[in-house]
Structure formats: C-alpha cells, structure tokens
Amino acid sequence: MTRTRPIPTRHPHDRAQVPVLGPTVKLLGIKPPTEAEWATMGEALTIGDEPMDALVDWMYTAGMGQVRPLFDQALAHGIANVPDAPEPLRDFFTQVENPPAWVDWDRIKLGERIFQSAGLDGIYLARDVPFLGGFVASGINRTLLLTNTGKSGATGGGQRFAETLRWALDVISEDGMRPGGKGFRSTLHVRLIHTFVRRHVSKLPEWSAEDWGVPVNQTDMAVTMLGALYAPALTGMMMGNIFTPRELDAIAHLTRYVGWVMGIEERFLPNGFVDATRQLYHYLTALTAPDESSMRLARPMAEDPLTWHYEHLAPLRRRIAWAQHLSISTAFLGRGRMRQLGLPGYMPPWYPVAKFPVNLARSGAGILVPGWRTRQARAGLRAQHEFMSTLIGPTEDGSIGGSVNYIGHAA
C-alpha cells in the first residue's frame, strides 16, 4: 500500500488491549484492525478539518473582526439571512446546511429520545467511562495540556465536561440537529473552536507535528465523537439497559450525522451499531497509551464531585457522589486501568450492581409498554438538565468554549 502522508510517531506499532469492550467485540465477531486500517488511522492523525480550516484561514485574511460577526449571524439565523455574504462563508454554510442524502430524520429523532431516556445514568456513564477513561489516550492529552483546559488543574476537567454536557444536551434536544437547531448550532460552534485550537496549538514550540500530527485531527475527533455519544449507550447495556435493534441503529445514526456536522470525514463515520462498535474498538487499540499526563488529568477529574453544588447536606452528598462515580469507573475500566490513571482501584462497583436490576426493569418496560419510552425520555431529559446545575452551580450556564476563551475569537 502506498502511503500519501507520513505517520506520526505517536501512532504505535502494536495494538493495545481494550478490556472494557472485550466481551462485546467477541460477541459481534469484530476482528482487530487490519494493516490497511491501522495505517489509515495513523495517517488520519495528520488530517484536520479541511473545510473549516480553509474558512478560518480566509477569516483571518479578510479580517476576523469584520467577518466573525457574519459567521455568528449565519450560525444563529442561517446563511440565507446574511445579505451579501462573502463567497467562502456562503459556500461553507450552504454545504453544511444541506444534510447528506443518507440522513434519516426519523432515526435521528429516535436516537434523541433514547439518549434522553437514559437519564442520569447516561450522563454518569459518559463522564466516568469514556471521558475519564479517555485520559489513557496520551496523544489526545497532549493537545489538552497545551491549552488552559489542561493547565487549569482541579477545574480543567470539570469545566471541559460541563461544556461537553451542554453541547450534548443541545444535540439531543427536540429537533436539535435540524439545520438551525440548538444542537446543530452548538456543534458548528464546537467545530469552529476546534479549528482555533488546532491553529493555536500547532504553532506552539512545544508541538511537534512529526511526533503528534495535527492537533484535533480526524482520528482524535472520531474517537471522541464515539465516546461522547455512542459509548454511553454501549456501556449502558452492560449496566442493564435494553435496546431494540432499531434503537441501537438510531443511536449510531445520530452519532454519524453529528460527526458529519462536526467536520469528521464520512469515511471515518460509523454506519450502524456493529460498525460503530468496530470503529470504537479499533480506535482504542491505537490510542490507548497512558503516560504521566493520564494521571495529571484524571486525578482532578475524579475529585471534581467533591466540589459539586448541592442545596442540602452538601458535604455528605459530595462524598457519596465521589464514591459513586469511582465505582462506575472501576467497574468498567478495571483496576489496572484505574492504576494507570492514578486513581483508587479498590472501590467496589456498588452503584452499577445496584442499578443493573433497576435499569433492566425500567428499560424493559420502555420497550413493552406503549408510550413508556417517551415518558422516560421526558423525565430523563429533565433530570439531565437538573444535573447541569449540580455540576456547575445555579448561576452558571456551562457556555461552550469557556475553557479556551483565551484563544482569539474561540468563545
């Protein structure tokens, strides 16, 4: 095979073990990545988001102070409502405002409802497994550590997760991913921030393209997207949640479309439940490489529940939340991975064990009782929004981009 791009040295020679997905991978008959797939993942470390990168290059050339308000206007109201929009801006928004032919809005809507029905456990699993466990990916950590998100110690991980949760709640809102919807706008906002971070970090003297590739590259974005939206549903099944094949397909389809809006190339987007699992497994075999940065980022994140905002009995509830979330992480990541993250490996998995029968009964009722899944979705979404206040306090909104607002025009 002829390689068109040099593979950065961060791409390993050997496939790492991914214990959390082991049983599912075997059950689905998923094989390790082939040599061609392995090389493609390595090459994708050198690819950013070419359409948005080109647009931002033009924005700087044309004068960011003049054209950023036009971008924001198009983001808020659509490019049709920006009179005499410059051609580069019009071309970009015209392309992204016209979804691909494969988008199925009925499946998108079902995917939204499934995410909503997961309630607090959906958020907990997203936080405690792919988000916290994702710090074993030292290559991704490198970018974080070169922004204030990684440098801000005890608040960095918590703030970044709050922003991620705000984005996710926008994505799964009613018709959130329709062009012009809350999730659509938030995803494009995050995409713009990614490009500002990419430009900023790649110019730092501490960054080596030969070793690390491009900051916020296609491989890192693809695995992050799967971790944020798809992995919580996959791990939710291991905690007692039951989904129909149609619901699993809808979850993967929503993830696929959100990834497209985010600027991930179609060849790196999942096409169905099995393919999403395969991709997640393949990426983790390539990106699981813990180092000292894993502990540096994971420890403050694990301690974050001790600062959460509870109206009553705050000290006690914070300690319970700390133990609860460590119990989830330990159950899914395993003691070995917890040690690599510098976290306690002795916490019994009491919360997943206690919730398994509850989730089994609850999700079973959602499938068997007409209209029950919809009621679960309403209650779940309400609980998810209430948790945001617990996470950041009643006076904050977790605005997207706050953790990198020191980078010019990023927020």
Angle between helices 314-340 and 292-303 (to 10 degrees): 160
Q: What is the pLDDT of residues 249-300, one digit of tens each?
A: 999 999 999 999 999 999 999 999 999 999 999 999 999 999 999 999 999 9
Phi, psi angle pair for 42, to nearest 5°: -65, -45
Q: Are 44 and 217 in contact (CB under 8 A)?
A: yes
Helix (H, G, I), strand (E, B) or coil at 241: coil
Q: Are 126 and 120 in contact (CB under 8 A)?
A: no
Q: What is the pLDDT of residues 89-140, one digit of tens each?
A: 999 999 999 999 999 999 999 999 999 999 999 999 999 999 999 999 999 9
Q: How far apart are CA 397 and CA 159, in angstroms?
A: 11
DSSP single-letter state for residue 2: -
Q: What pLDDT is recorded for position 151?
A: 52
From 236, 221, 246, 259, select the one nearest 24 (Cα to Cα). 236
Helical segments of 128-181, H only: 132-133, 138-145, 148-151, 156-171
Q: How far apart are CA 203 and CA 31, in angstroms?
A: 38
Q: Are 219 and 41 in contact (CB under 8 A)?
A: yes
Number of H helices, E strands in the chain: 21, 0
Q: What is the pLDDT of residues 398-410, one digit of tens each?
A: 567 655 554 555 4
Residues in contact with 399: Cβ distance below 8 Å, sequence separation at least 6, in sequence order: 163, 166, 411
Q: What pLDDT is recorded for position 411?
A: 44
CA-to-CA dists, residue 378 to 237, 251, 374, 384, angstroms = 20, 17, 6, 10
Q: What is the DSSP string of 187-226?
A: HHHHHHHHHHHHHHHHTSTT--HHHH-STT-HHHHHHHHI
Q: What pLDDT is recorded for position 327?
A: 97
**Is the C-alpha dihedral spanning 235, 340, 222, 42 positive or negative?**
negative
Geometric angle at alpha carbon 148, from 144 and 151, rounded to 5°: 75
Other beta carbons within 10 angstroms of residue 26's beta carbon come to: 9
Spans in the chain with pLDDT lower than 50:
1-3, 150, 152-155, 406, 410-411
Q: What pLDDT is recorded for position 160?
A: 85
Residues in contact with 389: Cβ distance below 8 Å, sequence separation at least 6, in sequence order: 309
